[in-house]
Amino acid sequence: MTKTKSLVISLIATIVIVLISFYFALPAINVQSPAFWVYITFILIFFNFLYSFLLAANSFAKKAAVDFPKIGVILMAIPVVVLIIGGLISSTMFNAKRYASIINVEDAVFEEDMPESDSVSNIALMDTESATIIGNRALGALSEVVSQYEISPTYTQINYHNTPQKVANREYADFFKWLSNRSNGIPGYIMVDPVNNTATYEELETPIRYVSSAYFGENLYRALRFDYPTKIFDSVYFELDEEGNPYYIVSCLSSKVGLFGAKDVSEVIIFNPCDGSSVLYPVEETPAWVDIVYTGDLASKKFNWYGMLSGGFFNSIIGNKDCKQTTDDYGYVVLEDDVWYFTGVTSVNSDESNIGFVLSNARTGQYKYYPVVGAEEYSAMAAAEGQVQETGYVASFPSLINVSGEATYILVLKDNGGLVKLYALVNVENYGIVATGSTQEDAFAAYKRLLSESGVVDVAPDDIVSATVTVETVRLATLDGSSVVYITAENGDVYKGYLSEDESLILIREGDSITVEYSETDIDGIYLISSWR
């Protein structure tokens, strides 16, 4: 075999490997992607090894076989050098100020942006685990759907008709399910209401064909890569437009610092999973109905660049003067027709409490900082769990609301099956003030009573009503793990109170004449006791 023939065979084999590996690995053909340079290195190693092997197999070509690896090593070294030098010149060590200036953070006033609440309908308190459980229950009666498809493990938090919703597409259960159902596609998606803890299965007129569990040309990521071979994909979220039509929202990244550094969203692809069509938008021209362009992780990472590197790289390592960072999780809130991420901000030198909070717009990337000092989120979660420790309930990551002018965490408590059992409100400044309830109304009323009793605020007269009644019956019940006293008055009104909030309720007897201060609940004729005498 001649040297030329060895070269031709090696080139043909390498081209075949390139085509096959690209089909399955789907790398972005983009110099800003480190994975691209790793892919190039792999191809060069394969070509060099095969060519050297073919030459070495021919005794007459031994000299050439010795000479070529020198050239091959040089070729293979090029992408490695690019990775090393590119990573170095893109690092925070040499570009701290540039990383810190990726975002602008607006100082905002908590009371102005967060109106006082008596309940919440714009906050998704339910996490993905609970949404999955409720979504699966909604499909329980649809045996033909359940047997052929499964719910995507990723729920997208969206703002749908100005209310928070979690949506997830269906996926094929396995290759054979895809093979037998690909002609029909996927008939619908799941929508979960994270405020009311309900779920519905929405059937589509035109089925979905492109999903991540499909194969060959119908695989979502393969379809995207073949349409956009040079784009660096970040998040791919399933969303709905205002008419309920499904789309995938695909964020595309580009480097803002050096070759690889400070990747941020620069473009957005809106992909129709029913027919495979798509449109590419500059990020600033993203349609208003789209909710998730920036992931919560990216939003937190960018704020941490701002908070940690504004004083320089070495200050972020030694001294930490004025350094701050986000806590390691985030919640969602719907404001101004957009989904925003909420997370606390702590000082690097003291992470036992928050020095403020940050909201980040998931579509526009706008940041707002609120200098509200208080307990960090995990302390509030622990306080809520401690309030009902006998139940073993687990707290979700909280969000922030304004109750009677007080910055307040609101969260839910879940049982070991992941279902929401109780609502909890925890005062940010004093996380010893904790109130729980089986409904939002109960939790809010109990929390306001605690604020009043502790002297933090004066409860408005309209919130609390007083009445003197004669007790007809007293009943004790367990509601979602909490002991509740139900007092029926002679006029038929029912007053309830939680023993965890007021143990003296157990002293009330039938026939007693008592004066109760109470507030309304979401059920007519049943009132929540604030205090009694």
User: Mind listing the pLDDT tens digit for each residue in 199-243?
Assistant: 888 889 999 999 999 999 999 999 999 999 999 999 999 999 999
Which of 4-8, 108-112, 290-294 shows the highest mean pLDDT?
290-294
Distance CA 115, CA 285 (A): 30
Token output for 225: 């890569």
Backbone angles phi, psi at 38, to 5 degrees: -65, -40
Tell me the pairing of strands 526-532 and 494-498.
Answer: parallel
H or E segment and range at residue 307: helix 296-309
User: Mind listing the pLDDT tens digit for each residue in 30-39?
Assistant: 999 999 999 9
**Within 13 Å and on the Cβ side, how many CA atoms surround 458?**
2
User: Mind listing the pLDDT tens digit for each residue in 101-159?
Assistant: 999 999 999 888 888 887 777 777 777 778 888 887 777 656 555 667 888 888 999 99
Judge residue 275's burial from the number of C-beta atoms within 10 Å of its C-beta, 0-12 exposed, 13-18 middle, 19 or more buried: exposed
Tell me the pairing of strands 434-437 and 420-427.
Answer: antiparallel
Cβ 99 vs Cβ 264: under 8 Å? no
Confidence category of residue 481, pLDDT binned at 50, 70, 90: low
Cα–Cα distances in Å, from 101 out to 138, 190, 284?
46, 39, 18
pTM of full prediction above 0.85: no
Distance CA 230, CA 375 (A): 45
pLDDT(64) > 50: no
Name every residue whose Cβ is closer than 8 Å to that of residue 59 and which is 6 or more positions away in sequence. none
**3-state SS string over 242-262?**
CCCCEEEEEEEEEEEECCCEE
pLDDT of residue 66: 45
pLDDT of residue 5: 85
pLDDT of residue 461: 45
Calculate the average pLDDT of the chain: 87
SS3 assignment, position 180: helix
Average pLDDT over residues 470-486: 82
**Within 13 Å and on the Cβ side, how many CA atoms surround 114?**
30
Ramachandran area for residue 123 (φ above 0: left; ψ -120 to 50: alpha; else beta): beta
Mean pLDDT check: name the lowest of 100-109, 212-221, 359-368, 514-523.
Answer: 514-523
Q: Tell me the domains of the chain and their CATH numbers.
A: 3-89 (no CATH), 120-293 (no CATH), 297-372 (no CATH), 377-437 (3.10.450), 465-532 (2.40.50.140)
pLDDT(486) > 60: yes
